[in-house]
Amino acid sequence: MGRPVGFTSNCEGLGDSAAQEVAAREQATPAAQFEARHAPRDVQGRPRDITSPHAPTLNDANNAARRAAPTGRSDDRPAGARQGPSPSSAPSVPAYLRSPPRSDEPVYGALDLGTNNCRLLLARPSRRGFQVIDAFSRIIRLGEGVGQSQELSEAAMARTIEALKVCAAKIERHKVRRSMLVATEACRIAGNGASFLERARRATGLDIEILSREGEARLAVSGCASLIDESSDYALVFDIGGGSSELIWLDLTRRSRPPGGFPVHAGIQDMMAAWTSLSVGVVTLAEKFGGRNITGVTFEAMVDHVLELLAPFENEHRFGERIAGRRTHLLGTSGTVTTLAGIHLGLPRYDRNRVDGCWLETEAARGVTYDLVRRSYQERVAEPCIGRDRADLVLAGCAILEAVLRMWPCPRLRVADRGLREGMLMTLMVEDGVYRVGRRRRRRGGGGRRHHDG
C-alpha cells in the first residue's frame, strides 16, 4: 500500500500591506516561525498543493458529535515542534501568510482553542480534498494553573484574546464562508470558561463554543483517518493535548469489504469500538509533577499516574486481550509524537513533510523518550525539534505516551501532524457537498500501484 500524500499548502502572491504588517508582528514569535517552516514545499523550494484525506461517512453517530460541535461556528495541542529563527536568516513574509490565488471556491475555517495553543486553519475545497490557504498557531497556555484553581487566569485570558484577534483578522480578510470555532479542555473545566468565551466574542467577534470530549475524539479521528493502515485489525488513535488526552480504539475487522477494497476512512465512525478522554494533558501533568527538572523517579511517577487513569477503560473493554496476536498499530496526533519523530529522524529543524505520516518502531520512540529524561532542561531547550516553548512540557507528553505503550504494547506507531482542525474542515465541506475525493489514475502498463490522494 502506498503512503498517503500528506497535507501541503499553496499560497501565491504577496499580501496587502495590512497582511504584511501582521506577518512582521508574527515573525517575532516562535509559533509564527514554526508555522512558516511547516509550509510544505517541493524539491525546488516552492509551495506545493495540498491533498487532504478522504472524507469519512457522516453517519448518525457522527452527526451527534457534530451537534456537540455546532456547524457554522469556528477550536494544540502543542504543535509538533518549534524552534526560534535562525540567526542567519533574514525576515521574510512566510508563504502561508500571503494572499491566496484567486478562486471562486468558498473559504472554510477551523479554530482550535486548546489548553496550550490557539490554532487556525483556513482552506478551500479542491479537486481531491482541500487546499490550505492560511494558518496560524500561537502558544497561549490558556489552561495555565486551571487544574489547581479551576479558573482561567487574567494573564492567560489576555494572551488568548490577543491571539484570537489575529485569527479574527485572518477570517475577515479571507471572507470565510463557514467556520467551526471550538474550545476544548481548559474552557470545559474552568468555572469561568463560558464567561471568558463571551468576553472573547465581544472583543473579537468570534463565536466560540465548547466542544464535547466525544466530539473532540471523533473529529480528531476523522482528521487523520487516511493514515490508518488498512491491513491492520485494530488501531489506537490517540491525541495528547494540553489539558486532556483522547484515545479511540478502532476495530478494522468491521469492514464490510476485504482490506484494500475501499478507503478505510470512508466508514471510520462505524469502526470506533470504544473511546475515552483522560483529564490529563501535557500542561496539567507538568503542573502536577513539574516540567523542568525531571528525574527518572519523577518520570516513572508520571507514568504510573497516567496508568491509573487508563486502568478503568482497559478493565471495561479488555483491549489488551482483544489485540493479542492481531495486527495492531498506534496512530498519534499530537505534538509529543511529532517531536519524538523529528528527534529520531535527526532533523536540524522540524520538517512536517518528513514527519507527517512516518512510521516509528515503538522501541525507537521509547529510546528517544528515555534519552530526553536523561537530558537537562537546557539541553531539551537546545534540541531544535523542541525549543524553549515546549521544553517544560515534552516529558509530560512522553510520560502519557509511555503509559499507553505499557498498557497496550504495539510494535508500530504512525505519526500524524494533522487532526482536529482537519476533521472540522472536512465535516463542514461534506455538509455543504463541496468536499471532493478522488484517486489518481492507474498507470498504463507495468502494474503500477494505485495511491489514494489523501
Q: What is the pLDDT along the chain (454 residues), one digit of tens a residue?
A: 333 223 223 332 223 333 333 333 333 333 333 334 433 333 333 333 333 333 332 333 333 333 333 333 333 333 333 333 333 323 333 333 334 444 678 999 999 999 999 999 999 998 878 999 999 999 999 999 998 899 999 999 999 999 999 999 999 999 999 999 999 999 999 999 999 999 999 999 999 999 999 999 999 999 998 899 989 999 999 999 999 999 999 999 887 655 554 454 557 888 999 999 999 999 999 999 999 999 999 999 999 999 999 999 999 999 999 999 999 999 999 899 999 999 999 999 999 999 999 999 999 999 999 999 999 999 999 999 999 999 999 999 999 999 999 999 999 999 999 999 999 999 999 889 888 765 444 433 333 332 232 3
Determine the Cα–Cα distance for residues 108 and 126; give it in Å rounded to an integer.
Answer: 12
Query: Hey, what CATH class is 227-415 in?
Result: alpha beta
Domain boundaries, the chain: 17-214+419-431, 227-415
pLDDT of amino acid 103: 64
CB-count burial class (<10 Å; 0-12, 13-18, 19+) for 388: middle
Determine the Cα–Cα distance for residues 49 and 131; give it in Å rounded to an integer.
Answer: 7
pLDDT of amino acid 108: 97
If DSSP codes are grouped into helix, strand and coil, which group holds residue 381?
A: helix
For residue 420, what are the contacts with CB-CB under 8 A and spacing of at least 6?
A: 75, 77, 110, 112, 216, 219, 220, 223, 239, 333
Determine the Cα–Cα distance for residues 127 and 134; give it in Å rounded to an integer.
Answer: 18
Determine the Cα–Cα distance for residues 377 and 381; give it in Å rounded to an integer.
Answer: 6
* C-alpha grid cell, residue 444: 498504463
Residue 439 vs residues 192, 221, 419: alpha-carbon distances, Å? 47, 21, 22
* C-alpha grid cell, residue 135: 494558518
Give the position of cell 456537540: 68
pLDDT of amino acid 45: 38
pTM: 0.73
Determine the Cα–Cα distance for residues 359 and 411; give it in Å rounded to an integer.
Answer: 10
- Domain 227-415 in the same topology as domain 17-214+419-431: yes
Q: List the end-to-end C-alpha distance of the chain, in Å, as a whole number.
A: 13
Number of other CB atoms surrounding residue 397 within 10 Å: 29
pLDDT of amino acid 421: 95
Report whether 372 contacts 395 (CB < 8 A).
Answer: yes
Determine the Cα–Cα distance for residues 411 and 377; give it in Å rounded to an integer.
Answer: 29
pLDDT of amino acid 79: 36
Residue 289 vs residues 286, 305, 370, 385, 394: alpha-carbon distances, Å? 5, 10, 17, 23, 13
CATH of domain 17-214+419-431: 3.30.420.40
Residue 177 vs residues 24, 54, 56, 71, 104: alpha-carbon distances, Å? 27, 22, 22, 12, 12
The letter for the amino acid at 296 is G
